[in-house]
Amino acid sequence: MKPKSFLRVAPVLLALACACVPVSAGLARSVRRDANEQTPSSAGKSWYIAVSGDSRDCGDLILPKIARDIEDTRTQTPVEFYWHLGDLRAMYRIDCDMLLRKYPQAKCNMRPGEGPEQNAFNDYLKFAWDDYIEHQIKPFGQTPFLIGIGNHELINRTREDFECRFGKWLTQPLLAGQYKSDAKKKIPSSQGQTHYHFIRNSVDFIYLDNASNDAAFSADQLAWLAQVLAADAKDKSVKTIIAGMHAALPQSSERGHAMDVTCNGVCSGLRAYELLYQAQNLSEPPARRKHVYVFASHSHFFRENIYDTPEHLGKVLPGWIIGTGGAEQYKKDASERIMYGYMQVELRADGTVATRFREVTRDSPPLATGTGAEEITAFCFEQNWRPPSDKHESNCNCAAP
């Protein structure tokens, strides 16, 4: 691969990640929806959201397919917003979908520093997030796009870089009104931060940031979570609490690639788990109890009932991993099928949810076009996988909070 300029995208997007250059009006339209807009749930009907994470590697191919599927099924299941649970681009090597558009014969999963490729990698870092906006957010059109931070957002970048480049999505109408409400309740929140929450149609959606190297929640964030949940407990209109995050909480069935990788992650994660479990208000009459659900990604597959483990016996929260947005899939061997897609979540008037995994396939529209289209499609659906990890801490002494 020649050490020349790696990528060319629309001129309006040619900005370093921390430059905060406004994106095009076309992208802005995707988030201009009144946060207080009435939805079908107002009339006692179900409403829907879509969730997945980890769209590095092949997200430029997969997320447009997810966006199209959401649009094509809108009449039957109108999705109110799509929630991305982090890991937008690889950032430690060139994502395959970007690489093969420029160099169709290149080898994917190539690390920087291998001869002249270092120059191409440096160029990639300048445009990786702009590429994500252009090829992964923009296809969602009028569907609001909620963004979460993952650990790959902190490779060769900082949390401040992320808040700056994606400030438009971290301060969109779905979120903006909540800051004013929180201020009245004396809940400390700052617009544009990487952990946030908002209440919509009796559901409190909470995004927790465990993207740090130790996959842990900060003490300040846990204190904030406790305040948010305490406010929910007092709010009779809140029926449901849905927590989203990148890495799954500790002691799940998929602990090999979750918060269990460090003792700080385990201890802070168990504290968050306990707060969420207690938020169900099980001592209250059934009519006043909250329904609590937990979504994560980080591991690159789809799994249900991940907290139904011996450690959580008697205190099981409904939980899912949806790391199927395009990242290299975790599977034991080549005989297992690579599977991408998203989880469609039905939010019912009684506060419960129903979920369905919607797969997008090689033949799902839109198909890749242009230079490298065949190579990208072949790699993503045939070679984009690796064995799962089983690294986790097992002897952490977590002091009582």
Answer whether 39's CB lies under 8 Å from 308's CB: no
Sheet (strand 145-147) strand order: 145-147, 79-84, 47-52, 340-347, 353-360
370 pLDDT higher than 50 = yes
| Among 14, 23, 72, CA closest to 344 | 72
Instruction: Give the CA-trace dihedral at 96, 97, 100, 102, to 10 degrees.
Output: -120
Instruction: Give the CA-trace dihedral at 81, 83, 89, 92, to 10 degrees.
Output: 170
**pLDDT at res. 339:** 96
Q: Work out the number of other CB atoms within 10 angstroms of the CB of residue 12.
A: 15
Answer whether 33's CB lies under 8 Å from 174's CB: yes
As to burial, measured by CB atoms within 10 angstroms (0-12 exposed, 13-18 middle, 19+ buried), residue 154 is middle
Measured between alpha carbons, how far is 135 from 132 in angstroms, rounded to an integer? 5
CATH superfamily of 39-386: Metallo-dependent phosphatases (3.60.21.10)
**Confidence at 180, pLDDT banded by 50, 70, 90:** confident
**pLDDT at res. 43:** 53
Higher per-residue pLDDT: 90 or 14: 90
- Alpha helices (H) along 327-395: 373-382
For tokens 């807009």, name the residue: 37
Q: How far is CA 111 from the centre of its chain?
A: 24
DSSP element (H, E) containing 81: strand 79-84
The DSSP bridge pattern shows strands 196-200 and 203-208 to be antiparallel
Over residues 116-129, mean pLDDT: 85
335 pLDDT higher than 70 = yes
Q: Give me the helix-helix angle, 263-278 and 219-234, nearest 10°.
A: 10
- Range with lowest mean pLDDT among 24-28, 275-279, 396-400: 24-28
**Confidence at 276, pLDDT banded by 50, 70, 90:** very high
Most confident of 28-37, 180-189, 320-329: 320-329
| Among 217, 228, 220, 209, CA closest to 148 | 209
Measured between alpha carbons, how far is 292 from 317 in angstroms, rounded to an integer? 7
Over residues 314-324, mean pLDDT: 97
Give pLDDT tens digits for 193-248: 999 999 999 999 999 999 999 999 999 999 999 999 999 999 999 999 999 999 99
**pLDDT at res. 190:** 84
Q: What type of residue is 365?
A: P
Give Rg (Cα) of the chain: 20
CA atoms within 13 A on the CB side of 375: 16
13 pLDDT higher than 60 = no
- Domain residue extents for the chain: 39-386
The DSSP output letter for 371 is: T
| Among 136, 41, 40, 62, CA closest to 358 | 62
Higher per-residue pLDDT: 364 or 111: 364
Measured between alpha carbons, how far is 164 from 167 in angstroms, rounded to an integer? 5
| Among 131, 58, 127, 139, CA closest to 97 | 58
114 pLDDT higher than 70 = no
The DSSP bridge pattern shows strands 291-296 and 319-322 to be parallel
**Confidence at 35, pLDDT banded by 50, 70, 90:** very low
**pLDDT at res. 14:** 39
As to burial, measured by CB atoms within 10 angstroms (0-12 exposed, 13-18 middle, 19+ buried), residue 219 is exposed
289 pLDDT higher than 90 = yes
Give pLDDT tens digits for 234-250: 999 999 999 999 999 99
**Confidence at 5, pLDDT banded by 50, 70, 90:** low
400 pLDDT higher than 90 = no
DSSP element (H, E) containing 296: strand 291-296
336 pLDDT higher than 80 = yes
Over residues 271-277, mean pLDDT: 98
Residue 225 tokens read as: 């979570």
Over residues 55-77, mean pLDDT: 97
311 pLDDT higher than 60 = yes
Residue 343 tokens read as: 């989880």
401 pLDDT higher than 70 = no
284 pLDDT higher than 90 = no
Over residues 66-81, mean pLDDT: 97
CA distances from 173 to 90, 147, 280, 369 (A): 29, 13, 28, 34
259 pLDDT higher than 80 = yes
Per the DSSP assignment, residues forming a β-bridge with 355 are 345
2 pLDDT higher than 50 = no
10 pLDDT higher than 60 = no
**Confidence at 120, pLDDT banded by 50, 70, 90:** confident
Residue 45 tokens read as: 């009907």
Q: Sign of the CA dihedral 342, 348, 353, 356?
A: negative
Q: How far is CA 291 from the centre of its chain?
A: 21
Residue 159 tokens read as: 């949390």
